[in-house]
């Protein structure tokens, strides 16, 4: 079963009943009749495939699943509240407070906001959401009228989202992510192995830590999907901060590029100069930077930590960078360029341990202890992992410890 974001009104009903321990007390607070509240709770329980409340003589008390759901729904609503406050900073809306506005939002309106903000086009967004363009347009404009702040502006190429739209869309995605987390946790309580882990992967983790972690995790949870997203760091960071990714694994950045993320170092291997076996440098015992500068290189793109280490290696010695550079992030292309020429590259041996074991590539005798690179996990600061996500992270930590012990 694919989880669908529930009706926001049903979520508010759930919170009020949980807080008041009573349907009758919650009714006037959500402006619904008791039968309507009972029906809303029944739909939620049907969606989650579990009971959320124990019906006792003294009131309604959340079950274990209900407590899990209460935590996630509360976190979702807090995100929506903060996102609404951010959106209202440029508004003259004095009719409703942020709290009142959140109570008026619908799931349809917020899904429309996310789709249009990401696509920057109503036609494309409508196809992604699976509704007509007129319906999507109406939902987005209703939200705009509620907030009394522009969300979308016409441009020569279509539309663009305002800062208000971007703030609320990001908060909504983070809030909806909490609901998905809650569904996964409740499913685990019911011994249903559902859900997925979506992580961003960078080169330093792809060939050693991550593959082993995925294999071990999948042996324990074979039905939980693992989506690995490979992309430049800036793209991965953006998707992490917007709730599209659960965490990142790879090279850390210092200082951290945003206040709302935290980094955890797992290991810090040095970089190495790599070439093909039989390269002329393999015959030398003392290789100078001047000698290295005479060879062609294949290096990562400008802006990456490894490229910065490469540039600094020569610049700090007062040398010009080697002229014959090929820039690429493809490890396959790097390997083949090295095998077919006298090119060199700067890379962690953990990334090419299989090539080294097979004798395809070789480490040049150059001491680069000062180029140690921190590899680790990057998380959203207030992210709350599910038990399965916690297990995956612990397996990553164990794998890193095993590497350090070897």
**Strand pairing report for 225-230 and 196-201:** parallel
Residues 116 and 206 occupy one common structural domain: no
DSSP E strand stretches across 136-178: 152-155, 158-161
Structure-derived torsion over alpha carbons of residues 376, 380, 381, 383, reported in degrees to the nearest 10: -110
Phi, psi of 59 (to 5 degrees): 145, -170
Give CA–CA dist 129/143, Å, rounded: 17
Residue 342 burial (CB count, 10 A) = 13
> In this structure, are residues 334 and 273 in contact, taking their beta carbons and an 8 Å threshold?
no
Give the pLDDT score at 156: 80
Give CA–CA dist 24/308, Å, rounded: 64
In tens, the pLDDT along 255-303 reads 999 999 999 999 998 899 999 999 999 989 889 999 999 999 999 999 8
Give the pLDDT score at 305: 86
Give the pLDDT score at 93: 62
Residues 263 and 389 occupy one common structural domain: yes
- CATH number (domain holding residue 356): 3.40.190.10
Residues 98 and 219 occupy one common structural domain: no
Phi, psi of 403 (to 5 degrees): -65, -40
Residues 318 and 395 occupy one common structural domain: no
Give CA–CA dist 385/192, Å, rounded: 17
Which residue, 406, 1, 398, 4, is CA-closest to 209?
398
Residues 64 and 151 occupy one common structural domain: yes
- CATH number (domain holding residue 113): 1.10.10.10
**What is the residue whose two structure tokens read 């109570």?**
103
Query: Got the DSSP string for 312-351?
Result: HHHHTTT-PPPS-EEE---HHHHHHHHHTSS-BEEEEGGG
Give CA–CA dist 6/15, Å, rounded: 13
Nearest 5°: the CA angle 69, 71, 76 is: 90
> In this structure, are residues 83 and 171 in contact, taking their beta carbons and an 8 Å threshold?
yes
251-262: burial string, b at 16+ Cβ within 10 Å, e else = bbeeeeeeeebe
- What is the tally of structural domains in the chain? 3
Give the pLDDT score at 2: 77
Give the pLDDT score at 94: 65
Domain membership of residue 187 (yes or no) is: no
Domain membership of residue 74 (yes or no) is: yes
Give CA–CA dist 132/35, Å, rounded: 32
Order of strands across the sheet that contains 225-230 = 225-230, 196-201, 247-251, 375-380, 261-267
Give the pLDDT score at 1: 55
Q: Which domain holds residue 334?
A: 271-369
Give CA–CA dist 358/225, Å, rounded: 31
**What is the residue whose two structure tokens read 């685990």?**
188
Domain membership of residue 295 (yes or no) is: yes
Residues 27 and 138 occupy one common structural domain: yes
Residues 397 and 290 occupy one common structural domain: no
State how far the alpha carbon of 156 is from the alpha carbons of 117, 153, 160, 169, 348, in Å. 17, 10, 10, 23, 46
**3-state class of 265 per DSSP?**
strand
Residues 43 and 56 occupy one common structural domain: yes
Domain membership of residue 185 (yes or no) is: no
Give CA–CA dist 25/378, Å, rounded: 43
Residues 358 and 394 occupy one common structural domain: no
Examine residue 284 and say whether the peptide bond preceding it is cis (omega within 30 degrees of 0): no
Domain membership of residue 188 (yes or no) is: no
pTM, 2 dp: 0.88
Domain membership of residue 176 (yes or no) is: no
Domain membership of residue 181 (yes or no) is: no
Domain membership of residue 183 (yes or no) is: no
> In this structure, are residues 13 and 30 in contact, taking their beta carbons and an 8 Å threshold?
yes
Residues 225 and 295 occupy one common structural domain: no
Residues 251 and 348 occupy one common structural domain: no
Q: Any idea how long the chain is?
A: 406
Collect all residues with Cβ–Cβ distance below 8 Å to 284 and sequence separation of at least 6.
291, 365
Give the pLDDT score at 271: 93
Collect all residues with Cβ–Cβ distance below 8 Å to 171 and sequence separation of at least 6.
79, 80, 82, 83, 84, 86
Regions of the chain where pLDDT drops below 70: 1, 93-94, 406
Residues 19 and 108 occupy one common structural domain: yes
DSSP E strand stretches across 167-242: 196-201, 225-230
């Amino acid at each position: 079963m694919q989880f669908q974001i529930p009706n926001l009104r049903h979520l508010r009903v759930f919170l009020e009943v949980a807080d008041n321990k009573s349907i009758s007390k919650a009714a006037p607070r959500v402006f619904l009749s008791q039968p309507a509240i009972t029906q809303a709770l029944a739909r939620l329980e049907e969606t989650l495939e579990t009971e959320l409340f124990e019906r006792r003589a003294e009131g309604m008390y959340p079950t274990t699943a209900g407590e899990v759901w209460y935590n996630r729904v509360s976190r979702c609503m807090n995100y929506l509240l903060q996102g609404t406050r951010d959106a209202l900073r440029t508004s003259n809306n004095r009719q409703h407070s942020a709290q009142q506005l959140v109570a008026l939002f619908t799931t349809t309106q917020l899904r429309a906001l996310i789709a249009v903000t990401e696509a920057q086009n109503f036609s494309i967004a409508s196809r992604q959401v699976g509704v007509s363009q007129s319906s999507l347009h109406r939902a987005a404009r209703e939200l705009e009228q509620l907030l009394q702040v522009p969300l979308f502006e016409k441009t020569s190429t279509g539309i663009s989202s305002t800062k208000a739209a971007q703030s609320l869309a990001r908060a909504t995605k983070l809030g909806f992510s909490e609901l998905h987390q809650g569904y996964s946790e409740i499913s685990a309580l019911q011994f249903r192995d559902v859900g997925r882990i979506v992580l961003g992967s960078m080169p330093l983790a792809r060939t050693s830590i991550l593959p082993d972690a995925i294999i071990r995790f999948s042996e324990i949870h074979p039905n939980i999907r693992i989506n690995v997203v490979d992309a430049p760091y800036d793209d991965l960071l953006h998707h992490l901060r917007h709730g599209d990714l659960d965490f990142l694994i790879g090279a850390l950045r210092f200082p951290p590029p945003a206040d709302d993320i935290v980094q955890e170092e797992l290991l810090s291997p040095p970089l190495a100069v790599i070439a093909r076996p039989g390269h002329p440098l393999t015959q030398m015992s003392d290789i100078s930077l001047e000698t290295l500068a005479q060879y062609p290189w294949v290096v990562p793109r400008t802006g990456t930590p490894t490229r910065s280490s490469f540039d600094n290696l020569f610049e700090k010695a007062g040398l010009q960078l080697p002229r014959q550079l090929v820039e690429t992030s493809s490890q396959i292309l790097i390997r083949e360029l090295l095998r077919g020429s006298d090119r060199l590259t700067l890379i962690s041996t953990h990334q090419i341990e299989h090539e080294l074991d097979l004798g395809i590539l070789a480490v040049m005798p150059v001491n680069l202890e000062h180029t140690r690179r921190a590899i680790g996990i990057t998380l959203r600061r207030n992210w709350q992992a599910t038990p399965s996500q916690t297990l995956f992270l612990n397996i990553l930590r164990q794998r890193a410890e095993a590497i350090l012990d070897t």
